[in-house]
Structure 1
Amino acid sequence: MDDIHTFYLVALFAGLLICLMSGFPVAFVLGGVSLLLAGVGILFQHFDASFLAAIPQRIYAAMTNDVLLAVPLFVFMGAMLERSGIASELLDGIGRLFGKRRGGLGFAITLVGALLAASTGIVGATVTTMALLSLPVMLKWGYSPRLAAGSICAAGTLGQIIPPSLVLVLLADTISSAYQKAQLAQGNFSPDTVSISDLFAGAIVPGLLMVVVFLTYQVLLTFFRPDTCPPPPETEVEEMKISIKSLLIRLVPPLALILGVLGSILGGVATPTESASIGAAGAVLLAGFGSEHRKHANTALLFLAAAVFLKQLVFGNVEVPILAERISVAIPVLVFLGYFLVALLRVFKTGAISSTAVETVRLSSMVFMILIGAAMLSLVFRGFGGDEAVQHLISNVPGGPYAALAVVLAVMFLLGFILDFIEIIFVIVPTIAPVLLMSGIDPIWLAILISLNLQTSFLTPPFGFALFYFRSAAPPDISTRNIYLGVMPFIGLQILVLIIVAFIPSISTWLPYALR
C-alpha cells in the first residue's frame, strides 16, 4: 500500500474518533466522514468512485435481510416485558428465597439478571429496575455499596451473552457474511453459513458459566469478606418467607416464555424471526393480564404450545386428512387469539403498547441507521485499500492466527471503553473477521469470544452503559468512584470466562454442532 492511501486511512479513523467524541450521532458520523473522505479522494483521483455505486445495494440488502427482522421483534418483546412487572415479581420471589442468607440478595440479583437476560435482554431496563428495587434494601441491610453496585451492573450485562441477545442477533448476520466472504476468497463457491440458532446454542453454556462464576465469587465473599454482605436483620427474617406455590407463580411465566422462544429456535420448530414473534405475543399476554390474572396468560401460552405441538410433532409425522389437521390446529390457535386480543386491549388502554412501540422504533431505527453508516464506511475503507492493510497487519502478528486473535480481542476490549457494541459489530468485526476466518478459526467460537468481549464494554468506564443506567437510579450518596471500583472484580470475572472459552473452544461449539 502506498503512502497516500495510508494517509487517507489514518485521516478516516482520526475523523471518526474526533466526531464520535464530540457526541454527534454515530450513524451520521460513520456515513458523513466516509463520504467526505471519499469525495476528497475522488477530487484528487485517489479513490475509485465506483465503490460508492454499491451503497444502494447495501441498503437494499439490509432492508431485505430476514435475519435482521428479528431485531425489532426482540426489542419489542423486551420492552413489553419491562412494562409487565416481571422483573419486580422475580426480584421479590427469588429475593425472599435467598435473602435470609448471608449474601442472599447478591445471589438473587445474579439469578434474576440471568432470567431477565433470557427474556428481555435490555441492559438499561434490567439495571435500572434492579437498582430501584434492590439497592435500597441492600444498603439498609449493610451491604457494601461497591458490592451492591457491581452485582447489579454485572447482572444487567448478562443479557448481552445469554440468548436471545441483540448482540448475538447482530453478530450472526455480520459473522455469517464474513464467513462466506472468507470461504469465497479461499475458492469455496458453495460456502457454509452461520445462523442465529448456531450462535444462540453456542452462547448458552458460556452464559451459564458466567452466571456460575458470578455466584461463586459472591459465595467466596461470604467466607472471606462477610462484612460486605451481611444477613438480614432478625426482625425482617420472618418477612422473607415464601411458599413454593407463590414462587412458582412468579417463575413459571417468564420460564415458559424463555423455553418457548429458545426451544423453538434450537429445536428447528421455528425460525428466529418466527420465534421472536411468539416472544412478542407472549410478552403482550404477560403485560396485559398482570400478576393478578397471570393464570390467563399461562392458559393462552399452553394453547399456543398445543397448536405448535400438533402441527410440528404430531401431524408432521402422522398422515391424517387435511381437514382434520386444520381443525385440530385451528381450535387452540383461535383460543390463543381470543386471550391475545383481550391482553392487547388491556395494554392499549394502559398506554403500554404505544410506549413500547415508540421504544422499539427508536432502538431499531438506530441499529439500522448505524448499519447503513457502517456499510458506507466499509466501502470507503475498502476503496482506500483498508482490507489489504488489515490482512497485512494480522498476518504479520508473530505467533500465528491465535496470537492475532488475542491481539484483536485486546483491541476490541480497549475500543469498548469508548465505542458502543453496535458500532464495534458493524464497523470493526466486518473488517477483521474475514482475515481471521481465512486462517481456519471456527466462526461460532469467534462470534462467542467477540460477544463475551463486548459484554465487558457495558461495565468499562467511562462510557459503560450499565454504569450510566445505575448512576441514574442510585442515590447520590453512592459515589461514582464506588461504582467504578465495584464493577472492577466483575470485569475481571468476565475476562476470566473469556479466557476459559478461548482455551476450551468446545464450551461454545459442541452444542451448535450437536444440534445440526
Structure 2
Amino acid sequence: MLDEYGLAIAMVLALLVGIFSGYPVAFLLGGLGILFAFIGDIPLPFLGTVSSRIFGGVIENWLLIAIPLFVFMGLMLERSGVARNLLLTLQRLFGNVRGGLAVSVALLGVVMAASTGIIGASVVMLGLLALPVMLKQGYKPEMAYGVVAASGTLGILIPPSIMLVLMGSIMQISVGALFKAALVPGLMLGVLYTLYLLLAAWFRPDWAPLASEGGAAEDTEQQAPLAVALLRDLLGPVVLIVAVLGSIMAGIATPTEAAAIGAAGAMLLALFLRQLNVAALRDVCRSTSKTSAMILFVVVGATCFSVVFKRLGGADMIEEMITGTGLGPYGLLLLLMGLIFLLGFFLEWIEISFVILPLLLPVVSELDFGGVLQGDTVLVWFAILVAINLQTSFLTPPFGYALFYLKGITNGSVGIGTIYKSIIPFVLLQLAGLTLCILFPSIVLWLPGLSG
C-alpha cells in the first residue's frame, strides 16, 4: 500500500504537520493540493478541472448564499440585546430551582441556536452574559464554563445551521430534509444537558448554589410580571424561528430565501428594540464579510486538496482500508464515527466536511442497513450523525474552538485546564446522544418522514 498510495499518505501527513504549525488552513489546503499535483506529475490540464470544480461547485453554488445571510442574522440578533433580556427572564423563571441559572443558560443556548447558528457569536455572547452571574452566585467553575461552551455549540446542529447547508451541498441532498432531521436530535441534546445540570445540582448542591446562598444580588431591572416578560422576550426569537424554519419545512421557501427572511427579520427586531443604527449595521456587515470569506476561502482550498488527493488514489486507499476490515454495516458505521471523532481533535468541521466526507460517501452509499434506511434516507441519517459528531470537535482539545472563545473572554482569569475539565461531561452527553441516534434512527428520520 505504501508504494501504491505513498503520495496520498504523504499528503495527509503534510496536512497534519501544517495544521500543528499554525499555518492558515485555507492556504495550507490549497497549497498542498498544488504542490502534490506537481510532485505527483499530474498533467497541467488536470489543474484546469480544479478551477472548474471551484467555480462550478463553489463560487456558482447559489445554495451557499445562505451562509452570509444566516451569519448576518445571527450577528444582528446578538447586537439586538434579545439574548440578554431572555436570560434575565429565564433566570427569574428558574431562580428558585437549584441549578436553575445553568438550566437558563442551556435553554437560552437552544433558543439562540435556532435563531443564529453561529458558534463563535453564541459562545462569546453566553459567556459575557452568564459567566459573571454564575460565578458571582458561587457556581463551580467546571459547571459554569462547561454549560456555556456546550450550549453555545448547539448552533452548529440545530437549524438554521451553516454546517447543514454545506453538508447538503457536498452530499447533494436536500438542505430542508437535513434541517428537519437535525431538529429533534438538537433538542434532545438540549434536554440531556438540562437533565445533567439538574441532577448534578441535586447531588452536588455546592456546585450550583441558589442566589440566596451564593450572595448574588437579584436583578431589579425587569419590573414586568414574569408571564408578560417571558412572552415579550420570547416572542421575537420565536417568530423569527418560525418564519425561517417554518418556511423551509413547509416548502414555501428555499434555504437561501429563508435565510434572506431571517436576515431581514433580525434587522426589524433590532430596529424594534432600538438597537439598529449605522455603527451597529457597519460592524455586523464587517463581521459577516470576514466570517463568510473565511468559510469560502477554506472551502476553495479544501476543494483543491480533495481533487488532487483523489487523483493520487486517496479515495481508493480510504475505501480499501475501510471495506477491508470485514466489519458489517453497523461495525463500519462505528468505525467511521470513531474516525471522525478523532479527526475532530485536530481538524475544523469545514475541513472534515469538504475533505473527508466526500471520501466516505461512496462507502456509506453501499452499506445496507435494511428497514427504512434506504437510498437518500441513509445519507440524511449519516449526515446528521456526522453533524452531531462534529459538534464535539468544538469542545475537544487541543483545537476545540469553543474552548478558545471561552478562554478569550475570561482575560486569563481561568486556566485552560479548568475549561478542559468542564467540557468532559458534555462531550460524554453528546456521545450518548450520538449513540441514541445510531440505535434509534427514527429520532433523526421521524420529522422528515412526516412530510415524506
The question of a shared fold, defined as TM-score above 0.5 by the shorter chain, is answered with yes
Give distance in 1, aligned partners of 2:360 and 2:366.
10
Offset at 1:51?
3.2
Offset at 1:204?
0.7
Identical-pair percentage: 44
The unaligned stretches of length 5 or more in structure 2 are 370-377
Of 179, 187, 197, the residue aligned with 1:200 is: 179
The answer to whether 1:275 aligns with 2:271 is no
Offset at 1:19?
1.4
The secondary structure found in structure 2 opposite 1:120 is coil
Give distance in 2, aligned partners of 1:74 and 1:232.
36
1:56 match: 51
1:120 match: 116
Offset at 1:56?
2.1
> Contact between 2:80 and 2:276, CA under 8 Å: does it hold in 1?
no
1:211 match: 190
Give distance in 2, aligned partners of 1:248 and 1:165.
25
Give distance in 2, aligned partners of 1:206 and 1:396.
32
Deviations 1:56-77 (A, max 9, x none): 2212221221221111111111
Deviations 1:441-466 (A, max 9, x none): 60011000000000001111121111
Give distance in 2, aligned partners of 1:276 and 1:50.
38
Offset at 1:219?
1.3
The answer to whether 1:505 aligns with 2:434 is no
Amino acid at match of 2:421: L
Offset at 1:53?
2.5
> Contact between 1:453 and 1:495, CA under 8 Å: does it hold in 2?
yes
> Contact between 1:5 and 1:384, CA under 8 Å: does it hold in 2?
no
2:320 match: 392
Amino acid at match of 1:386: G
Offset at 1:225?
1.1
Give distance in 2, aligned partners of 1:484 and 1:20.
21
2:128 match: 132
1:364 match: 292
The answer to whether 1:257 aligns with 2:240 is yes
TM-score, reference length from structure 2: 0.93
Give distance in 2, aligned partners of 1:445 and 1:251.
31
Give distance in 2, aligned partners of 1:348 and 1:483.
36
Offset at 1:289?
2.5
Of 395, 399, 410, the residue aligned with 1:474 is: 410
> Contact between 1:30 and 1:377, CA under 8 Å: does it hold in 2?
yes
Offset at 1:49?
4.3
2:372 match: none
> Contact between 1:51 and 1:379, CA under 8 Å: does it hold in 2?
no
Give distance in 2, aligned partners of 1:477 and 1:195.
45
> Contact between 1:118 and 1:163, CA under 8 Å: does it hold in 2?
yes
Amino acid at match of 1:108: S
Amino acid at match of 2:198: V
> Contact between 2:89 and 2:226, CA under 8 Å: does it hold in 1?
no
Greater mean deviation of Cα atoms: 375-384 or 51-60: 51-60
Offset at 1:360?
1.4
The answer to whether 1:421 aligns with 2:417 is no
Offset at 1:348?
4.3
The secondary structure found in structure 2 opposite 1:83 is helix
Of 202, 221, 229, the residue aligned with 1:223 is: 202
1:182 match: none
Offset at 1:404?
1.5
Deviations 1:27-86 (A, max 9, x none): 1111111111110221xxxx3544322112212221221221111111111111111111
Offset at 1:153?
0.7
Give distance in 1, aligned partners of 2:257 and 2:398.
38
> Contact between 1:206 and 1:497, CA under 8 Å: does it hold in 2?
yes
The secondary structure found in structure 2 opposite 1:470 is helix
1:166 match: 162
Give distance in 1, aligned partners of 2:438 and 2:91.
34
Offset at 1:103?
0.6
Give distance in 1, aligned partners of 2:277 and 2:197.
42
> Contact between 2:98 and 2:202, CA under 8 Å: does it hold in 1?
no
Give distance in 2, aligned partners of 1:423 and 1:280.
27
> Contact between 2:92 and 2:226, CA under 8 Å: does it hold in 1?
no
Give distance in 2, aligned partners of 1:138 and 1:8.
52
Give distance in 2, aligned partners of 1:382 and 1:214.
40
Deviations 1:418-476 (A, max 9, x none): 11111111111111122211224600110000000000011111211111111112254
1:340 match: none
2:106 match: 110
The unaligned stretches of length 5 or more in structure 1 are 177-193, 294-345
Deviations 1:255-282 (A, max 9, x none): 1001110000000011111100000000
Matches within 5 A, 1:37-116: 37-42=36-41, 47-61=42-56, 62-116=58-112
In the alignment of these two chains, the number of paired residues is 439
The answer to whether 1:287 aligns with 2:266 is no
Give distance in 2, aligned partners of 1:263 and 1:161.
17
Give distance in 2, aligned partners of 1:483 and 1:230.
20
Give distance in 2, aligned partners of 1:426 and 1:420.
10
Of 395, 398, 407, the residue aligned with 1:459 is: 395
Give distance in 2, aligned partners of 1:249 and 1:264.
23
> Contact between 1:26 and 1:370, CA under 8 Å: does it hold in 2?
yes
> Contact between 1:48 and 1:383, CA under 8 Å: does it hold in 2?
no
Give distance in 2, aligned partners of 1:514 and 1:246.
34
Give distance in 2, aligned partners of 1:114 and 1:238.
23
TM-score, reference length from structure 1: 0.82
The answer to whether 1:347 aligns with 2:276 is yes
> Contact between 2:181 and 2:446, CA under 8 Å: does it hold in 1?
yes
The answer to whether 1:444 aligns with 2:380 is yes
